[in-house]
Structure 1
Amino acid sequence: RDEESPLETDVLIVDECSMLDISLTASLLRAVAAETALLFIGDADQLPSVGAGNVLRDMIASGVVPCYRLTQIFRQARESLIIRYAHEINRGELPAIDSPFKRPGVWQDSDCFFIDAEEASVRQLRFIGQVKRHFNSIDERERRAGAKPYEFDIADAAEYGRGAGLQVPEPFRHVSLDALSTADSAAAELLAVLKKVHPWSSLYYGLTASAVVRKLYTEWIPKYLGPACEIQVLTPMIRGSLGSAGLNRMIQQAVNPAGRGKAELISGERIYRAGDRVIHRRNNYELGVFNGDIGIIKEVDNENLTCVVSFFPDNREVEYHREDIAELDMAYAITVHKAQGSEFDVVILPVLTQHYRMLFRNLIYTGLTRARKLAVFVGARRALAMAVRNRDTSLRQTALLYLLQTRRPGNGKKGSSV
């Protein structure tokens, strides 16, 4: 559709307009007839479009386009903590979110809580590996003779480590090498390495942040809300142990592992099986599926390299052939950007300082408001505080606001080319 063949309608309603970039908006407006009424709906406090421009915010800020604010909430209950915390975050205030490790009753009387958890950074993992390898190489005869060469005062640890060929970097001088060398789990290793641990941390229960996400997805949430509720992990990034790629592998292994006689389709690094939750990554008009559509794989035929996906919410089934499968991705965990415009029964939000480049207020606000029944933060409160303080400082250089204000009908200004 364009100026020559416009959309034939009296009223056109465009939803989720915070996602409109300038090019898509221009194409849309060219396809709208002059006599058609146009209604834009959206939340300017959510993430802006991936493409250029900040169309919705510019239209509202211009004062030229009539604007109405809807304040009554329908997605969640009026007394919802999801709504209260979302408003606080939007105002730049850090919400005081309860923890089930401090007060187990939050499972029954709250729709939003925070599980304090940590995940080892690349630097911490490297140091843990060095220490483990070092002490594994200590002469076995000394062990049998009763010598305990790694039991020494913390103050002497660095000096001893250098003498034995182990370099202890400054950030880890506080670590008890004895405790670290004998730690028998990822949580115990992290407890030994960290200087400070939150009093309600999942590490005291033997769980890292990724292990908490797995427990929430596979055990805790189904136990309290029932196995039929839709759970979506929303993460700031793709990479990292708590990025969407790593979380998808972990959750798939937990809920839909490989099995004898179970058909699989392999596409790059992804393995698809019947029962997997998947997302379509780009508009495909031939298949009738669009970027962000989520569904469940119902059938896999690894001989003909096809699969059938049932898409929400109407259970519409679409058959994918070999050339189309690359447009799918796992969707146990997706980025917050991919979730914009969608809603889910339960949202799990990993928030850690390893995501520091993406920790912005509008990202947390967008992720939190995707939840209908329950939202669970997993991670470090200092990371949430960092996000709440940070407005998205990547200023977008747009001309739309200027053009709307200077070229409005009747203002006597012609404006200038930009």
Structure 2
Amino acid sequence: MIVVEGYLNKIIFHNSENNYYILSVFLHSYHSELNGDYISIVGTFHDIEFLKDELYSFKGEIVTHKKFGQQINAISAERLINKDVNSIIDYLSSDTFPGIGKKTAQLIVEKLGLNCLDIIYKNKDKLTSIKGVPSTKKELIYNNIVSNKQSQDIILKLNELGFSNKLINKIYNYYKSDTLNIINNSPYDLVKTISGVGFLTIDRIAENIGVEFNNPERIKKALIYCINEQLFSTGDTYIYEQELLYKTFNLLYKSRPIAIEKEDILLAFEDIINSQELIKIDNKIFLPSIYQAEYYIYNNVKKRISLSEKDEKINGEVLDNYIKEIETELNILYDPDQVEAIKNSINNRFSILTGGPGTGKTTIILAIIKIFQKINNYSYTDLFDEEKNIICLCAPTGKAAKRMSESTGFYASTIHKAIGWNAEIDDINEFTSDKIIKSKLVIIDETSMIDVYLMQNLLKIIDIDSKIILLGDTEQLPSVSPGNVLKDLVSSKIIPTSSLNKIFRQASNSSIIKLSHAIKNGNPIDILGNFQDREFHISDKVNLVETTLNIYKNLLSITNADKIQILIPMYKSIFGIDKFNTLIQQTFNHNTEQIEYGNCIYKIDDRVMQLENRAEDNIFNGDVGNIDSIFTEDGKQKVVINYDNNYITYEKKDLDQITLAYACSIHKSQGSEFDYVIIPLSDNYNFMYNKNLIYTAITRAKHKLFFSGNPQVFYNAINPSNIIERNSHLSNFFLDDSSGKIENTEHILTKDNLHIIDPMIGMKDVSLFDNINKD
């Protein structure tokens, strides 16, 4: 390792994404190991400004590049301040200290001398003796001196600990000057706060700083990590106790191959239950936030149902007359099931309407809105009056909200916008809204996509006297995050529910809709038959990509890329989403204006998807747009993306929020419809596909559906045994209530008994750990 000082000659290269630099430096002093007066410095440097002719110190290793010769691969860089009055004044009045001018800088140097920076760093109170410097500026000066001093030490330490440059950026930006304190005292906190930091990474660091393998805090953090990984990867709302302990043991052993005594894990588990960091119900283990969310949903719905039972009902004959009026207005005829669904929704404060495509949910909603208007003597224009706030329509995604608006003629928003979720809070489970939805009628579409956190927040802010109607298709995929809300509410048996199964005349000619209902009902299917709106292109694995691209190419001759969507269940592999996106861009987007970010290239007209919620811009995870322009402003590259005429500007550093979207996952497509859908079927997907997944993919197609690949993959997916059930507890609350197990529902969530009293239920049998050791 060598330390050199030198004056910056020029910046040869700078990657603004990771702050990687190649610098040309004129050496300040002679080094026998170095050749000549100039040396190239390469490395990643954060929170430092490189200015021509300024003096810097670099620490690193001498390396020899095949092409460029001798270089220093530096792990740290520090700007050295020349110890003369003018240079210190210039430094203090530079952009590093915004708001400090020459006059203020001169006052500081005159009072504290040439070593003023070190003096202030060691004792900020020295600034108080300088008259003429405002207190706000004193704090700013001190903070900047400390920040610039500490950042180099922090980043060097993170580098030594083995973090990647990307993670170093994330960690330092989150913790700033407190970074090393967290690393040294609470390293496992990074697993929760920094995305991309896993337990294994942090445990290695914890081991290096002396955390023993059987440290109780290590075991507790492993328990918390394992339950989070399980619930947020499967969508379950709990994990069985034995499974959690098994996973924790394996994780700890994988990280450090030293067998932990079973008593150590049991003691940590007991402590974590007693401290209410986890909740235990029989042999089920919950995260408190998920347990509370499910309980809140149950309690809120139960209260609404109870109040609804006391409401005066609209006479059946009166409703029949209203329905006949609506049939005349809309020139349709409702069948008995639809009539019953309309009455069910009108006469209850809380109701559910389920049904697959083509079953007439939209026409029923129109009838409900119109009858609701007539019953309450509202004018039609009243329904559009924001101040009167009569109806509220919302859905989990922007696409679903737009479809809802188009089909009803009324404004619909995302649920996130309806509840006032802002961009300052990443996780919905940490969000508390100060809004109240006082609309008389609230209709929520695509309810199968709603997780327990989102439903909890929604019910919290909907006025108790509002009429709520949930729409959804129980055959579709459940939410990405934990919960099985729609199915659990339907199975509760206490909520008025209407299920539509009949395909109506307008949809009866659609083989896509018939196919979806055949999958739902388990009827025989001839997937190879070619129809006006459905084709199957058989292909082996070798030709699957080419076959799929040919379908895409043919579609581009009759429509544009916005109308076409390729749906795939996985991202990686040669048949994955990432591969198809790259191939389609390279093959069909010939624009030369582009921007590179990491391993991705984005071009004008590229179809892209937003991966994070940006509530302040009214765009959310899953929204799809097109790159409108790429330009440079104030030295920064920027990209403008058009989301249905909502133009959003991104700086280059924000491009990790988007991805190419010619192909996307089936989960991401939920809530959307596309004119043309292509579903490649490869043996590589066999372990990914199930009945709900293939059903959801098929029902995204409006006009035409294309399959490519192996038909057996389709048949494997729709096999009745290939259904993955989620572990959720919401329906149990209703079941326990009906059987009298919940006597005092308000008492169950008090601080003292949020968790189960005896955390060692079922733990007397040590065969659990005998089984672990056998594996």
Pair in the same fold by TM > 0.5:
yes
Report deviation, 1:296: 1.1
Secondary structure in 1 matching 2:537: strand
Residue 255 of structure 1 pairs with residue 588 of structure 2: yes
The range that moved more, 341-350 or 279-288, is 279-288
Report deviation, 1:242: 1.8
User: Partner of 2:715 in structure 1?
Assistant: 385
Write out aligned runs for 1:62-77 (5 A). Answer: 62-71=492-501, 77=507
Residue 270 of structure 1 pairs with residue 605 of structure 2: no
User: Partner of 1:133 in structure 2?
Assistant: none
User: Partner of 2:569 in structure 1?
Assistant: 236
Which residue among 637, 661, 670 is the counterpart of 1:305?
A: 637
Give the partner amino acid of 1:379.
Answer: G
Give the partner amino acid of 1:414.
Answer: E
Secondary structure in 2 matching 1:403: helix
User: Partner of 1:111 in structure 2?
Assistant: 533
Which is higher, the Rg of structure 1 or of structure 2? 2
Write out aligned runs for 1:35-46 (5 A). Answer: 35-46=465-476
User: Partner of 2:76 in structure 1?
Assistant: none
Give the partner amino acid of 2:525.
Answer: P
Residue 281 of structure 1 pairs with residue 608 of structure 2: no
Which residue among 687, 702, 705 is the counterpart of 1:357?
A: 687
Q: Output the CA distance in 1 between the equivalents of 2:621 and 2:478.
A: 16
Residue 398 of structure 1 pairs with residue 731 of structure 2: no
User: Partner of 1:335 in structure 2?
Assistant: 665
User: Partner of 1:187 in structure 2?
Assistant: none
Contact 1:362–1:391 (Cα < 8 Å) also in 2: no
Contact 2:513–2:699 (Cα < 8 Å) also in 1: yes
Give the partner amino acid of 1:213.
Answer: T
Give the partner amino acid of 1:7.
Answer: I
The range that moved more, 70-79 or 59-68, is 70-79
Give the structure with the larger helix fraction.
Answer: 2
Contact 1:93–1:388 (Cα < 8 Å) also in 2: no
User: Partner of 1:222 in structure 2?
Assistant: 556
Contact 1:351–1:377 (Cα < 8 Å) also in 2: yes
Give the partner amino acid of 2:548.
Answer: V
Contact 2:564–2:677 (Cα < 8 Å) also in 1: yes
Higher relative contact order (CA 8 A, sep 6+): 1
73 and 263 in structure 1: CA distance in 2 versus 1, 3 angstrom threshold: farther
Q: Output the CA distance in 1 between the equivalents of 2:587 and 2:433.
A: 52
Report deviation, 1:353: 1.4
Q: Output the CA distance in 2 between the equivalents of 1:211 and 1:392.
A: 29
Report deviation, 1:331: 0.5
Which residue among 651, 656, 661 is the counterpart of 1:326?
A: 656
Secondary structure in 2 matching 1:46: coil
Secondary structure in 1 matching 2:472: coil
Which residue among 287, 292, 300 is the counterpart of 2:622?
A: 292
Report deviation, 1:84: 1.0
Q: Output the CA distance in 2 between the equivalents of 1:27 and 1:209.
A: 44
Report deviation, 1:73: 5.8
Secondary structure in 2 matching 1:318: strand
Give the partner amino acid of 1:309.
Answer: I
Q: Output the CA distance in 2 between the equivalents of 1:330 and 1:76.
A: 35
75 and 398 in structure 1: CA distance in 2 versus 1, 3 angstrom threshold: farther
Contact 2:528–2:711 (Cα < 8 Å) also in 1: no
How large is the Cα RMSD of the aligned pairs? 2.6
Unaligned 5+ residue runs, structure 2?
1-418, 420-431, 749-755, 757-775
Contact 2:572–2:578 (Cα < 8 Å) also in 1: yes
Contact 1:359–1:390 (Cα < 8 Å) also in 2: no
Q: Output the CA distance in 2 between the equivalents of 1:337 and 1:82.
A: 19
Report deviation, 1:391: 4.9
Secondary structure in 1 matching 2:605: coil
Contact 1:76–1:372 (Cα < 8 Å) also in 2: no
Contact 2:508–2:514 (Cα < 8 Å) also in 1: no
Give the partner amino acid of 1:360.
Answer: N
Number of aligned residues: 315
The superposition leaves residues 318-348 of structure 1 with CA deviations (integer Å, 9 ceiling, x where unpaired) of 2222243211110000000000000000000
Q: Output the CA distance in 2 between the equivalents of 1:327 and 1:55.
A: 28
Report deviation, 1:228: 7.3
The superposition leaves residues 356-409 of structure 1 with CA deviations (integer Å, 9 ceiling, x where unpaired) of 22110111100000000001011101111110115554432221112123436x
The superposition leaves residues 58-110 of structure 1 with CA deviations (integer Å, 9 ceiling, x where unpaired) of 111111111122446689842111011111112234521336xxxxxx4xx51
Secondary structure in 2 matching 1:283: coil
Contact 1:407–1:415 (Cα < 8 Å) also in 2: no
Give the partner amino acid of 2:743.
Answer: K
248 and 229 in structure 1: CA distance in 2 versus 1, 3 angstrom threshold: closer
Give the partner amino acid of 2:621.
Answer: N
User: Partner of 2:522 in structure 1?
Assistant: 92
Q: Output the CA distance in 1 between the equivalents of 2:602 and 2:670.
A: 24
- For normalisation by structure 2, the TM-score amounts to 0.38
Report deviation, 1:277: 0.4
270 and 212 in structure 1: CA distance in 2 versus 1, 3 angstrom threshold: same
User: Partner of 1:163 in structure 2?
Assistant: none
Q: Output the CA distance in 2 between the equivalents of 1:76 and 1:263.
A: 45
Q: Output the CA distance in 2 between the equivalents of 1:82 and 1:339.
A: 17
75 and 355 in structure 1: CA distance in 2 versus 1, 3 angstrom threshold: farther
Secondary structure in 2 matching 1:338: helix
Unaligned 5+ residue runs, structure 1?
100-105, 121-207
Which residue among 235, 246, 252 is the counterpart of 2:579?
A: 246
Secondary structure in 1 matching 2:620: coil
Report deviation, 1:265: 1.4
| Overall identity of the aligned pairs, in % | 31
Secondary structure in 2 matching 1:212: helix
Contact 1:406–1:415 (Cα < 8 Å) also in 2: no
331 and 4 in structure 1: CA distance in 2 versus 1, 3 angstrom threshold: closer
Q: Output the CA distance in 2 between the equivalents of 1:293 and 1:384.
A: 28
Q: Output the CA distance in 2 between the equivalents of 1:118 and 1:273.
A: 32
Contact 2:563–2:674 (Cα < 8 Å) also in 1: yes
